[in-house]
Structure 1
Amino acid sequence: MKIAQPLPLISEDDMFAALEAGALLLTINNRLAREFQGRYDFFQQSKGLAVWEAPRIFPWLTWLQHCYQRLTLTEPDDRNPTLLSPLQEQSLWERVIYDSSYSGALLQVPATARTAQEAWQLWHAWRLPLQDQSLFVTEDTQAFLEWARAFEHHCQVGHWLDHARLPEAVIQMLGARQISLPATVILVGFDEYTPQQQEFFVALVEQGVMLQALASQGKPERVMRVPLVDGVEEITSAARWARRRLEGAPREKIGVIVPQLEFLRAQVVRIFDEIFHPEAVLPGREGIERAYNISLAQPLAHNPLVHTALLILELTKGELSLVEMGALLRSPFLGEAEREFSRRALLDAYLRKTREARVSLGRLGAAAVSEGAEGAAYCCPALGERLQQFKAELAQLPARQSPSGWARSFARWLQLLGWPGERSLNSEEQQAVSAWRKGVQSFASLDGVVPSLKQSAAIGKFRRLLADTLFQPESPPVPVQVMGTLEAAGERFDGVWILGLHDGVWPPAPRPNPLLPVELQRHHRLPHASAERELAYARMVTARLLASAPTVIVSHPCREGDSDLRPSPLIAELPPIPPEALELASIEPYTHQIQLTAMGETLADRQGPPLAKGTQVEGGTALLKAQAACPFRAFAEYRLGAQGLEEPSVGLAALDQGILIHSALHYLWERLEDQQILLTHTAEELQTLVAEAAKQAIAGQMAVRPQTFTERFTAIEQERLELLLLEWLEQDKQRPPFTVLHQEKSQPLNLGGIGLITRADRIDRLENGERVIIDYKTGRPDPHHWFGERPEEPQLPLYCIAHKEPVVAVLFAQVRRGEMKYLGVTKAAGSVPGISDFTHVAEGPENWEGLLDQWSQVLHALAEELMAGYAAVAPRDTKSCDYCALPGLCRIGELGSKITYNKNKNNGDGQP
């Protein structure tokens, strides 16, 4: 039996009068219930009332829950099963699937459980027949049958009731006259009725209830179709139109309907902020009250305050990713966050220096209480004390607990780290805390449905709960409502703009449930089952939206990327109007307004404070390299201390590989001392020595990067280093006799009045007493980078002029598998095999002494710039900016064509 269609209609005023008389209003969703609650309140206020009885307005599923729970509380009966919460149902489905014979083939059991739960709900809502199971022939549908039987069995044993069968339970109560019913029930927002709803409403009628539906506003006065270039222009035009309407009539209610709002939310927020609240881009204006509201709720787990709490829970596992740890340290929702804000930011920067992808709780705790000169900047005593208590608490954790036990642990962990902080929370943050606590209570309610859990499983399950929980902070009523097509059911507006209606999205593509036979879904016209079903539903929704306001604008983009788009066939027959015919607000983004009203003023400030003569500066040779690349960069990094944050790397970055090679070769030559000893070693002796050198080098890095150097990674790196070192030693065997005189020896140097400390990787002494300076490189170095007015690699020339003994060769040692060689310049050919004299690389000097003098002049000129405080934004070339972390400080992007590059006069490419 079905209810009569259409239902008797009732106007809004008559509906409010009926509510005063005790009628019940059932809506299709929560949003619509809140909307009509607000309208009813306004109706009462307009009559001059200050107090009135709360109306009976509920979402229909919520009313069913109230009916069932009220009955089971007021008239306890062991025959009435316990109603499961949505989370308990989801968890029971997961348990059923994990215990089934199909679990081994599933990668995402929680996602499969949600799909099975949806199939179960469709099965009951649409009264699908199960007599003929011959349609359940695929592996997926057969799996669902097995899961459904198991789910039903668990419910019988546990004496539980799920929401899919709740309407049937309430119908039985209606038949037994166990529920007090109103004389009138008014339905709002139901585009269609499922067979299960039909049965329920028929049962109401049989109990003498009168069913009515809210009358629509009728046909719109004006409907316009506007083709626009793309989606961005659509959203922008809709926002400008809505603002223009409000400027003329501030009390109007405006609707903007977006069919794919879940994918476009961020873009919609950005554009609507630009149009309605251009000042929102200014610092400190993030929490302003907006004139628009977006109905699409976000997962609770995405809320910043809740995200911090989840990071604390993840930290109990012993580590976080470097990015997550940084977010936790900089969060304002920890104890003493404001007091230690700067120190915790510096602690984040310090932890990044290892470039490890993950940071352990132990390392965080040790760094937070660091002492000494370096640790003084980032030491966080309050955080360190909290972390000590936190670790002590974790040491007492049981291996397994019930969900309620873990819920208590969650609360204790957050308390120990001071969540949600000491500062006053705004309204949205207070609501987020309340939603978090409700989530914890829901998780605790899983006792009995879910067996005891290990820590990792409990945190994972709770995180999924919050990811599935939608959070929409309550806010005062606003005039502009942005919503999806489903949320707009039953809504009424003074004007509405429906955007994005191209033929690729409207009607939407079918999405049948994969666990139910497709033929069965099509035959019973289940939602999303077929293209025909989607077309019919889209027609119904389109008709409803077109009747939701006196003035309706529908729009569609003409292009998306490189693709041409056509209007949806459901609106194609509407006559198009040009965008110019619309009344749109004229407004420029705030940044444009500032630029348009600003008076341009240029201040060429290329000068920082000069240094006093004899000043000892930090940075050594790297300072000169930075000055040659860009004077401003050198000033910012080494005088102002502005350093970019290190980024995590998987495995070893080039810098880390270079450190390993330097350390291993340093160990080798400390023991070999000269080429003669190298040549006297047998292959076995050399292999043993090389293995120990690699082991010592890795041990040094392992202390800094323990997360990277796992047992397997260490073994691979040991083998790689040994092969690399043996191959390089073969290269050194081919040279004329030499002795390694110094390795990483500190050499003070006064250059143009600046005190520097130089450390050459290695200095060899030849048989005749002359010196060779060597710099190890694991990449492909180029000796041409030593030359020009602003050399790219000034280190070796600087080592050369700093050394007091005669130097006859300056070399890069290219330590690279299959490409081992020396590169550089020599005073005369023959000093090092394969290296020509300096005339093949350097242009200008006629002899070796002239080359050294040229280098000295270039380096002294750079030192004089540093002494004078010269800090112009003048990069050597565009490559100098590629790996610079300070474009926001120098604002090179704003200077544009005003930049003059200091190109080298002699900086060619290629090998000598």
Structure 2
Amino acid sequence: MAQHLHIAVNSRLSQLLKQQLLAEDWQTQTVAKTPAVMTMSQWWQQWEQQLVLQADLTDLTALLSPTRLSVFEAEMLWQDLLAEKMQQQPELRLLNTRATAKQLYQAWCFLLEYEAEEALHNHFKTAEVSLFLDLKHRYQERLQQLQLLDPPLLQSRRLDLLERLATHCEQVHICLHGFDELSPSVQQWQTILTKSGAKIEVMAALPLANEPKQQFCQAETPEQEAQQVALWCADWLDGWLKQSQSATQTSSVPCLGVVAPNIESVQSALTWAFDETFYQRFGQPLPLASGRQTLYNISLGQPLTQSALVQNALQTLQLALMPQQILQYEAWSDWLTSPYTLGDLQYRQQADNRLRKLQWASFKWPTLLAHLQKRAEEQDDMQAGDNLISNPLPKKLTKVLLSQSQTRLPTKVSLAQFVQQALTILKTFQWGQTLQLGDASRALNTVEMQQKEAFLQALTQFENCFFQANQASYADWLGRFQQQLQATVHQPQTQGWVPIQVMGMLEASGQQFDALWVMGLTDEAWPRMPNPNPFLPIALQRDLAMPRCDAQRELHYAEQVTHRLIEAAPIQVWSYARQLEDKEMLPSPLLSKGLSVAMEVADFSNQPYCALAEKLKQQASPLVWVEDAQAPALPLNTRVPGGTGILNAQNSCPLMAFIDYRLGARYQLEPVEEGLQANHLGTLVHHVLEVFWQETVTQTQLLALDKNALVIKLSDLLETAMTPMQSQYDAHYLALEKQRILQLILDWLVLEKARPPFKVIQTEAEHQLAIGGLLFNTKIDRVDQLPEFANQKLIVDYKTGRANVADLLKEPIEAPQLAVYLQAYTTSDIAGLGYGILHSDDGVKLDMLVAESEVLPSSRHAFSKLAEKSGGDYEGQAWEDFLQALQSEVDTLARSLQQGDAAMRYRDEAALAYAAGQLALRLPEVKWQKALNLEASL
């Protein structure tokens, strides 16, 4: 009895053939034997297993003795050889090592596959070819030295052994499915088995019973093309569902194919269109739904490194195995807030928010942990709300990190030790186990479980790599393992009924569909552009018709695939998009050449597409425009958030104040940046001047200090203030910052020395002020007493940014914060108020509004001069009346806040640019409405 064997070009077709053959057997038999269907690589594995049982083992030495390399290992070996070559030839360092190693390995595979080594020597050798020949020689020496066998050499030895040990096999009938072309090694395999009596048949696509119904679709853009595909698929499914409901017998499940030359380029638009369309037509869950099942499957695997679960594993290993490596805060934040990290996600997110206030842009995590633990011990008696610098990390995570930071790891380890340590760390950090979010928890879903299993399988495979006997650092091993994961393509298995299969041209080999849509057929995409290997002579590649060698070969290949697809379904649509970004595209020449042979091709009628957002808008009730500028009133004597900052916001735009302060938009995650942030610079300046004036008190004592004593005093104060930053910033950077800030303060004190005599009576004084029925917590930087002006007071507000005291003179005022300070004192006691500006770029300046010019001769704003100015805004007005008017204006502003005024009202659009809730202000819509109102009033 003849043995029938089916060999498929890929595993997808193999599974499909097995299902089809089983279904045919079940129609005629009560007991069906599992059909022999496999891929070519599975055939070779089966052949080897039989050979081990039947042949003399001495004949198998060349095949079984060497250690076999995977493609990844072979590429790594080429990469190592290239790196050694770069040490000898520095000009090669411009090459991308990993990408170049892939090309070198491909050239080596082509050389063996096409048996082109002898022919290679007859061609002109470019620098690239010479480099390849040099590295090829070293590669072969390394394989022999280490007793290694890579995939192309393994294939060559298999074929030699097959020919030498081939037995009679007249009863074997092998059918090859889905092979658009046979590679030289498959041709040689076919020849050997045919000589041994086997019957090998390359199966062509089954001819269709009738001419296929074909349509041609021309879309404007790739997005429109994807939308038409989605609507076409939805119509097919809709028709099948209606037919199934009306039929007395269950009809067969439809199989729809969507094929594209470059599946990566259409994946995004196609997924979006499918999700929108199928949600509207069939209620398919949207992408955010957990554990959703879709009506389509896209045959496009992703590198394992793109999985969030795998990324977390790599981050965990990097943290644990390389504790002395400098981390960027964003990398730490990504790991800390990942759902797969140990500990309750809610607490970890809160910890991230609090740790950002430290502004550690780059650090070693054990140093950060030690800092947090130390401050936690020092701050045990602090209230939780104030304990920003203690340890906010979850206790379970802190315990594991502390244990890991105390573990002393060897400098170099073997591969087996690395893998064992990696598994131990992942177990310690409970990676891939139950995920915790508050009171809720969940196990990994099906896709995540598959990703976890693929990761652990890759780790096991990595342990068996040829370089296992080597000793290397943990960083080196982890880097190599990451490369393997990058090369490992993973696609989660779909479950349940999936009627729509999206795939590339190769994946569609040998498959039959009820209906087929071939998309993305521009002249640049199909035929593919030539991509010859740079390390083999172009002429040699053309002579032997190597893959991607020239346009002629690509055209021939594309014609074969196109012809096969024409026979793949009775109903077909072929399409392309005319516009790709800013380029106008042409259809593939195969559209006109291949589809018009002995058949009529009809134009496809594009259907109107309704986006989900548009559909929801249509279904919604008509919009009713309501001007709602009234927020809930604040109860009297409420302590408002944000201190006086909320009054500044209320003054700029009431709606901005409501969104940023009352709704809390301003309390978002603080960005962590390299270097001292502006607010940290301000804190340092405030602190140093506060301590300095607490000790110095009067201008007289300031003048008594000589320059050296002043510099020493300020340097000591800065050193003390910057001590907590020593574990955060580089010592050289801190020294430069200290020198810069010291010079800024020295320049400021030069201005202080030139003033009339004064005494500092308050620094950083805290006040709770009742204004407009609300309570405001505020801190006044400094208050001076002026002996020459009846001991009146001068209010100084330090600014390390830009500010202008003239904002007090505007109507309405634009500096309500300064006016708020007046509420803390009797107006008759105030001689002036304003800013002490210490700006890194603009320098230092006393920008004050004073009652008389004698109070501060250098001031440009003396109110007495404004009152004397004929026709001016303040002609004849007394200073005290002016201050009381400021108080009254601030009171009115605070009262509008208390009463819930939240109108979208602003004077200067630039003031809205820094709103935390800027998007919620909807400024473009407001401007549009104002324009409409203006137009209507004309």
Whether 2:739 is the aligned partner of 1:716: answer no
Correspondence 1:854-865 to 2 at 5 A:
854-865=885-896
The superposition leaves residues 433-491 of structure 1 with CA deviations (integer Å, 9 ceiling, x where unpaired) of 21111111011112645622211112222222112111111113511111222322222
2:117 is paired with a residue whose SS is: coil
| Equivalent residue number for residue 272 of structure 2 | 270
Counterpart code for 2:222: G
| Equivalent residue number for residue 58 of structure 1 | 38
TM superposition shift of 1:653: 3.2
**Which of 442, 451, 454 in structure 2 is aligned with 1:435?**
454
Counterpart code for 1:94: Q
The superposition leaves residues 329-381 of structure 1 with CA deviations (integer Å, 9 ceiling, x where unpaired) of 33333445xxx332222112222233443465333687699664138899999
| Equivalent residue number for residue 798 of structure 1 | 820
1:892 to 1:309, Cα distance in 2 relative to 1, 3 A: farther
TM superposition shift of 1:291: 0.7
**Which of 60, 78, 90 in structure 2 is aligned with 1:93?**
78
| Equivalent residue number for residue 144 of structure 2 | 156
Contact 1:814–1:820 (8 Å) recurs in 2: yes
Contact 2:214–2:602 (8 Å) recurs in 1: no
Counterpart code for 2:361: A
TM superposition shift of 1:402: 1.8
Q: What CA distance in whole angstroms lies between the structure 2 residues aligned with 1:615 and 1:630?
A: 21
1:208 to 1:367, Cα distance in 2 relative to 1, 3 A: farther
**Which of 801, 804, 820 in structure 2 is aligned with 1:779?**
801
Whether 2:650 is the aligned partner of 1:627: answer yes
Contact 1:664–1:693 (8 Å) recurs in 2: yes
1:179 to 1:776, Cα distance in 2 relative to 1, 3 A: farther
Correspondence 1:579-618 to 2 at 5 A:
582=604, 588-599=610-621, 600=623, 610-618=633-641
Contact 2:802–2:837 (8 Å) recurs in 1: no
For structure 2, the 5+ residue unaligned runs are 242-252, 435-441, 933-938
The superposition leaves residues 26-76 of structure 1 with CA deviations (integer Å, 9 ceiling, x where unpaired) of 222233223323333443455575x64333322223433443366458865
1:172 to 1:562, Cα distance in 2 relative to 1, 3 A: closer
Whether 2:669 is the aligned partner of 1:645: answer yes
| Equivalent residue number for residue 907 of structure 1 | none
2:610 is paired with a residue whose SS is: coil
Whether 2:384 is the aligned partner of 1:373: answer yes
| Equivalent residue number for residue 823 of structure 1 | 847
1:84 to 1:840, Cα distance in 2 relative to 1, 3 A: farther
Whether 2:135 is the aligned partner of 1:113: answer no
The superposition leaves residues 226-261 of structure 1 with CA deviations (integer Å, 9 ceiling, x where unpaired) of 221111111111111122122223632222222222
1:627 to 1:719, Cα distance in 2 relative to 1, 3 A: same
Counterpart code for 2:215: M
Aligned residue pairs, count: 874
1:255 is paired with a residue whose SS is: strand
Q: What CA distance in whole angstroms lies between the structure 2 residues aligned with 1:807 and 1:183?
A: 109
Whether 2:164 is the aligned partner of 1:176: answer yes
| Equivalent residue number for residue 460 of structure 1 | 479
Correspondence 1:714-863 to 2 at 5 A:
714-766=734-786, 767-768=788-789, 769-786=791-808, 793-804=815-826, 805-830=829-854, 831-838=856-863, 846-863=877-894
1:603 to 1:323, Cα distance in 2 relative to 1, 3 A: farther
1:778 to 1:171, Cα distance in 2 relative to 1, 3 A: same
Counterpart code for 2:338: S
1:504 to 1:737, Cα distance in 2 relative to 1, 3 A: farther
Contact 2:255–2:514 (8 Å) recurs in 1: yes
TM superposition shift of 1:681: 4.3
Q: What CA distance in whole angstroms lies between the structure 2 residues aligned with 1:344 and 1:179?
A: 66
With the length of structure 1 as denominator, give the TM-score of the two structures: 0.86
Contact 2:222–2:266 (8 Å) recurs in 1: no
Q: What CA distance in whole angstroms lies between the structure 1 residues aligned with 2:266 and 2:878?
A: 68
| Equivalent residue number for residue 522 of structure 2 | 502
Correspondence 1:86-485 to 2 at 5 A:
86-100=71-85, 102=87, 105-106=92-93, 108-130=96-118, 132-133=120-121, 135=123, 137-177=125-165, 183-218=172-207, 221-249=212-240, 251-278=253-280, 285-316=289-320, 317-318=322-323, 320-336=327-343, 340-358=344-362, 360-362=364-366, 363=368, 372-374=383-385, 383-393=394-404, 395-422=407-434, 423-446=442-465, 448-449=467-468, 451-476=470-495, 477-485=497-505
| Equivalent residue number for residue 11 of structure 1 | none
1:736 to 1:572, Cα distance in 2 relative to 1, 3 A: farther
| Equivalent residue number for residue 67 of structure 1 | 47
Q: What CA distance in whole angstroms lies between the structure 2 residues aligned with 1:628 and 1:89?
A: 68
Contact 1:621–1:756 (8 Å) recurs in 2: yes
Contact 2:215–2:604 (8 Å) recurs in 1: no
Correspondence 1:547-558 to 2 at 5 A:
547-558=567-578
Q: What CA distance in whole angstroms lies between the structure 2 residues aligned with 1:137 and 1:695?
A: 66
TM superposition shift of 1:206: 1.8
TM superposition shift of 1:183: 0.7
1:667 to 1:500, Cα distance in 2 relative to 1, 3 A: farther
The superposition leaves residues 141-162 of structure 1 with CA deviations (integer Å, 9 ceiling, x where unpaired) of 3332222222222222332221
Contact 2:261–2:504 (8 Å) recurs in 1: yes
Q: What CA distance in whole angstroms lies between the structure 2 residues aligned with 1:699 and 1:761?
A: 23
Stretch deviating more after TM superposition (102-111 or 488-497): 102-111
1:282 to 1:566, Cα distance in 2 relative to 1, 3 A: closer
Q: What CA distance in whole angstroms lies between the structure 1 residues aligned with 2:526 and 2:69?
A: 36
Q: What CA distance in whole angstroms lies between the structure 2 residues aligned with 1:877 and 1:364?
A: 45
Q: What CA distance in whole angstroms lies between the structure 2 residues aligned with 1:102 and 1:624?
A: 65
Contact 2:168–2:196 (8 Å) recurs in 1: no
Q: What CA distance in whole angstroms lies between the structure 2 residues aligned with 1:179 and 1:674?
A: 109
2:784 is paired with a residue whose SS is: strand
| Equivalent residue number for residue 723 of structure 2 | 699
1:303 to 1:123, Cα distance in 2 relative to 1, 3 A: same
| Equivalent residue number for residue 909 of structure 1 | none
Counterpart code for 1:305: L
| Equivalent residue number for residue 885 of structure 1 | 916
| Equivalent residue number for residue 246 of structure 2 | none
The superposition leaves residues 244-294 of structure 1 with CA deviations (integer Å, 9 ceiling, x where unpaired) of 122223632222222222244233222221122355676862432111111
Q: What CA distance in whole angstroms lies between the structure 2 residues aligned with 1:775 and 1:450?
A: 68
1:504 is paired with a residue whose SS is: coil
Q: What CA distance in whole angstroms lies between the structure 1 residues aligned with 2:372 and 2:279?
A: 43
Q: What CA distance in whole angstroms lies between the structure 1 residues aligned with 2:606 and 2:237?
A: 11
For structure 1, the 5+ residue unaligned runs are 1-17, 902-912
Contact 2:745–2:838 (8 Å) recurs in 1: no
TM superposition shift of 1:297: 0.6
With the length of structure 2 as denominator, give the TM-score of the two structures: 0.84
1:744 is paired with a residue whose SS is: strand
2:615 is paired with a residue whose SS is: helix
The superposition leaves residues 283-327 of structure 1 with CA deviations (integer Å, 9 ceiling, x where unpaired) of 862432111111111111212222222221122233654334333
Contact 2:217–2:604 (8 Å) recurs in 1: no
Stretch deviating more after TM superposition (792-801 or 424-433): 792-801
2:590 is paired with a residue whose SS is: coil
Contact 1:96–1:147 (8 Å) recurs in 2: yes
